[in-house]
A and B are shown apart, each in its own frame.
Chain A
Amino acid sequence: MTPLNRNQIAWRAAQDIWDGAYVNLGVGIPSLIPDYIPKDREVVLQAEVGIIGMGPTPKPDAVDPDIFNASTQPTSFVPGGSTFDHTDSFLMIRGGHLDIAMLGAFEVSEKGDLANWNTGDPATAPSVGGAMDLAVGAKAIRVLMEHTTKDGKPRILKQCRYPLTAAHCVKAIYTSLAVIDVTPRGLVVRETIPDLDFAQLQAVTEAKLTLSPDWRVIEAPAIAVTV
């Protein structure tokens, strides 16, 4: 079995964004999503810095230094795109106007608690940015992350160890091994990568998993890692 790479995780999550959705993409793996949204769907991307209708990364000769995203990287507008100030941007985020926020995470608990802002390292100033606003404000939070840490430890836990960004907010988790829904009955595995059996998945997941009756295998295209 071969885990999904970061781009394939982004591809898989992109397939579940519906036509007409208003979406905010966090830094890390979620920032790869725009390349993989099915071409027949119109998805409107919002950026904290004050853009709705964000377009693709411009070619180097088309970069306008005044058009940047929440990672301070060059971006562009799609036709219909617009800008606004920060109070309107966070009214949009905090007031429940976004359909989905796709976020990276350090850890997610079986209740859908999210930890993605602070590793508790006392030497580093904790940096929350807009993470708490998005986690509380968007209608649905979907997390994209590697299934385990670099040294193989679970990130999907009974309880988060790192300080929380928000409690009970995550609705779905897209990892390098599986797609998992957070439900009132616990974590339900909707999809797994080929040649991975359920016991293997449970072994690298601290929280208890159940298999959905509709469970299927992810058929991801081969995609090279870009970042």
Chain B
Amino acid sequence: MIDKQVASLEEAVAGAKDGATVLVGGFSAGDEPAALSEALLSTGARDLTIVNNGVGGLARGIAALIAAHRVRKIVCSYPRFVGGTAFASAYKSGEVALEVVPQGTISERLRAGAAGLGGFYTKVSAGTLLGEGKETRIIDGEPYVFEHPIKGDMALIGAQQADRWGNLVMRHSRRNFNPVMAMAAAVSVAQVREMVPLGHFHPDQIHCQGIFVDRVVVVDPEPKNWSARP
């Protein structure tokens, strides 16, 4: 019988190694699967490369990993957050390296990693600072840059509901990078608000199939009050 639900956050992130590339879902610090990132602290893993759209906020999730000196590098599109980030000082001191990637190039590099592709050419960033040093090719008269796939050793993602197969449903704006990150990692872990019985989801309704998900852990729902969110 398949049952991907695990009882604890520690079990959910077990096996994370030093130097691992960890894909962290969410659009910003506001919808990060923060409990999973924080659970990584218990594994002792360090020198992590974090792939996220942002760099976390001031305290929770990725910010807690940065404060505990576990992060070597962040790959992201937007290294800022309203209210500030723990990343800012770690970047200034040189402790954490930064690779800024256009937002759609991150998601497409993840998709390439997930799909077994060797990379792709895109017009985005060609002729700009972020395109410097990249292999360039003229296609239909326009310059394109080559982008490599991104694969994770582990993905930490968020979802609304899961069943025991690891099928996931996400809610509204919170889908964002979560499905493609689950698809692009060797071990994918989902933090969900609730478990539902197998068969509860309509077959046409599932946002991320259990084949992409290895472990599921229930974490108390995020606070409903918008202003109280991190």
Residues of A within 8 A of B (CB): 47-51, 63-70, 72, 74-75, 83-87, 89-90, 93-94, 118, 123, 125-133, 136-137, 163-167
Q: In the complex, which residues 111-157 of chain B have their Cβ closer than 8 Å to any Cβ of chain A?
A: 111, 122-130
Nearest chain B CB to A144 CB, angstrom units: 20
In this assembly, does B77 line the interface, its C-beta being within 8 Å of a C-beta of chain A?
Answer: yes
Q: Which residue of A lies closest to B224 (CB)?
A: A65
Residues of B within 8 A of A (CB): 27-28, 30-31, 55, 77-80, 82, 87-88, 91-92, 98, 100-105, 107-108, 110-111, 122-130, 160, 171-180, 207, 222-226, 229
Chain B residues near A75 (CB-CB < 8 A): 173
A-B contacts, 23 of them at CB < 8 A, read A64-B172, A67-B173, A68-B31, A68-B173, A83-B172, A83-B175, A84-B175, A85-B175, A87-B107, A87-B179, A89-B104, A93-B104, A94-B123, A127-B79, A128-B77, A128-B103, A128-B130, A130-B104, A132-B102, A137-B104, A137-B123, A164-B129, A166-B128
Contact at B173–A132, with CB atoms within 8 Å? no
> Lowest 10 CB-CB distances: which A-B pairs, in order?
A90-B104, A133-B104, A125-B79, A130-B103, A86-B107, A66-B172, A132-B102, A129-B78, A163-B129, A66-B171
Chain B residues near A67 (CB-CB < 8 A): 172-173
Contact at A48–B172, with CB atoms within 8 Å? no
Given A86-B107, A167-B127 in contact, is the A130-B173 Cβ separation under 8 Å? no
Nearest chain B CB to A113 CB, angstrom units: 9
A179 to B111, CA, bound (A): 40
Contact at B124–A125, with CB atoms within 8 Å? no
A69 to B27, CA, bound (A): 10
User: CB within 8 A of A128: which of B28, B102, B176, B179?
Assistant: B102
A208 to B202, CA, bound (A): 60
How many A-B pairs fall under 8 Å by CB?
Answer: 136
A65 to B179, CA, bound (A): 20
Contact at A133–B124, with CB atoms within 8 Å? yes
Q: Which residue of A lies closest to B110 (CB)?
A: A87
Contact at A127–B80, with CB atoms within 8 Å? yes
Given A85-B180, A87-B108, A125-B100 in contact, is the A49-B27 Cβ separation under 8 Å? yes
Q: Which residue of B lies closest to A65 (CB)?
A: B226
Contact at A65–B107, with CB atoms within 8 Å? no
Contact at B91–A125, with CB atoms within 8 Å? yes
A69 to B226, CA, bound (A): 13
A116 to B19, CA, bound (A): 34
Interface of A is mostly: loop
Q: With a 10 A CB-CB cut-off, give which of A51, A63, A75, A125 has the most chain B CB atoms.
A: A125
Contact at A49–B176, with CB atoms within 8 Å? yes
Contact at A90–B123, with CB atoms within 8 Å? no
Chain B residues near A47 (CB-CB < 8 A): 173
Chain A residues near B178 (CB-CB < 8 A): 85
Given A64-B172, A65-B224, A123-B92 in contact, is the A48-B129 Cβ separation under 8 Å? no
Contact at A85–B92, with CB atoms within 8 Å? no
A137 to B127, CA, bound (A): 15
Given A50-B175, A84-B175 in contact, is the A127-B100 Cβ separation under 8 Å? yes
Contact at A50–B104, with CB atoms within 8 Å? no
Chain B residues near A163 (CB-CB < 8 A): 128-129
Contact at B129–A129, with CB atoms within 8 Å? no
A85 to B158, CA, bound (A): 13
Q: Which residue of B lies closest to A68 (CB)?
A: B173
Contact at A50–B173, with CB atoms within 8 Å? yes
Contact at A164–B127, with CB atoms within 8 Å? yes
Q: Which residue of A lies closest to B85 (CB)?
A: A125
A130 to B173, CA, bound (A): 16
A67 to B173, CA, bound (A): 5
Chain A residues near B98 (CB-CB < 8 A): 125
Contact at A128–B174, with CB atoms within 8 Å? no
Nearest chain B CB to A46 CB, angstrom units: 13
Q: With a 10 A CB-CB cut-off, give which of A67, A68, A164 has the most chain B CB atoms.
A: A68
